[in-house]
Structure 1
Amino acid sequence: MAETMIHPTALVEDGAQLGAGVSVGPFCHIQSGAVIGDGSQLMSHVVVTGATRLGANAQVFPHAVLGCEPQNGKHTGGPTTLEIGTNCTIREGVTMHSGSDTSRGRTIVGDHCTFLAYAHVAHDCVVEDYVTFANNVMVGGHCEIGHRAILGGGSAVHQFTRIGHHAFVGGLAAVAGDVIPFGMVIGVHAHLGGLNIIGMKRSGMDRKEIHAVRHASRMLFDRTKPVQDRAKDVKLAYAESKAVADLIDFVTTDSKRAFCTPLIKSAKDTREDNGGEQ
């Protein structure tokens, strides 16, 4: 069994639980109640507060702060948690807050996630597996980030927003609406600029399913009917597609936010799309 290593300058409080093979570097502070999974490496100046559970084989870089109280005025100070899965990479200056006692009470991060420098996960968020946050990504409270989503550098996500699985958020985008699964959004405020085809291919998604989602998304947002009405038509048209079913489940689920939709094209843009024909 691998030996646990604690640097002499680190402070590990009584009541903290460290698994086998954990490495705690210089000037780290692990508070009572925190749980650090087997094989995790905390490099230096890392703070892990009580009621934070960090899964096995995490790499946590200098000055990351995990599990502090939520930045939520409704929080009354009750016990809440931050739960981080296995095999996560958490780079310099990343912050993740615990849940709030007037909401979910838990902030949840899945397995195999990557958080680049100075990214932030706010209170009561749910981040699923294989998600990537680039540098300086800011995600507000109560957000839900689906598996294999990628958030580009400097992007900001409004509280209560949902980012569907396999979605891509462009760098510096301000996202104030829900992003459909497989969607790619860009701009301030972000609009739906297509689908994350590259991410879909990288995940091993079947070519037939990719084509189905491409056609279904065009049908869904064609503006001849409200999205909810078009969702029924899309569901019937692509009844055999699991990926399209995910898309329809997402848009028909109650949400506190509107959807990110494509920009309305001008007549000039439409003519150009049609090869100059009117």
Structure 2
Amino acid sequence: MSLITRIVRSAADGDAAPPYASNRLLAALRPDALAALAPHLVLVDLPAEAVLFDAGDDVQHTYLPCGPTQVSLLVVTADGQEIETASIGLEGAIGGVVSAGFKPAYGRAVVRTPGHAFCIPTQKLEEVKTATPLIADMFDRYADVMIAQMMQLAACNALHPIEQRVGRWLLFAHDRAGDEPIRLTQETLAQMLGVQRTTISAVARTLQDAGVIDIGRGKVTIRDRAGLERRACECHDAVEAHFRRVLPKVET
């Protein structure tokens, strides 16, 4: 079942304008298109490790993460291992991106970095897309970007050494966190990348010794973005370049 956590602000609240600029898909919409979508958006809390939907669930809600909030799409193996196949943050949306109706989820969606997200019933989103072609086009383009990310990650996981893969993941997280530390444990990163925790610990020490990152308890601070980019593979840049081509009006 889809999880909606504590409501922070609904469309009926009049105390302050909802922070639509904190999700770049919403920020890129023309005022008339945003006006068609806004009455149905609710700002909610997404706590760390919350499961938004699981394999086989009917995806009843769509989430648009804000700020540093980050959600992982995972494939869960028969023996319970979780492998990340995509990561979604303030640049996108998760659940119901393409269509409504009973479309069972193939994998699990888990909140990795807690924060806020705008939430809309998937059926209502489908109605708005039908009535507003501009919104439908934007979500179709974003679906293309999601497929590209999954394809690139499949190649990355098969071909690139673990230090480069860690660098790629941290670059995506840094894009979303900005100057704030990335809330992440080494155990979680090991699970997502499908390696042992000791392997991640060794990579983290190497990066910290090189002055690229600073490791705290459950947090990672990027100290040298350029240095991290040099140590990462080309996968982050490849996905970002495709994003800019497909969604040129959305900042990444």
Q: TM-score range by the shorter chain?
A: under 0.3
Asked which structure has the greater CA Rg, the reply is 1
TM-score by length of 2: 0.28
TM-score by length of 1: 0.26
- When you count helix as a share of all residues, which structure comes out higher? 2
Higher relative contact order (CA 8 A, sep 6+): 2
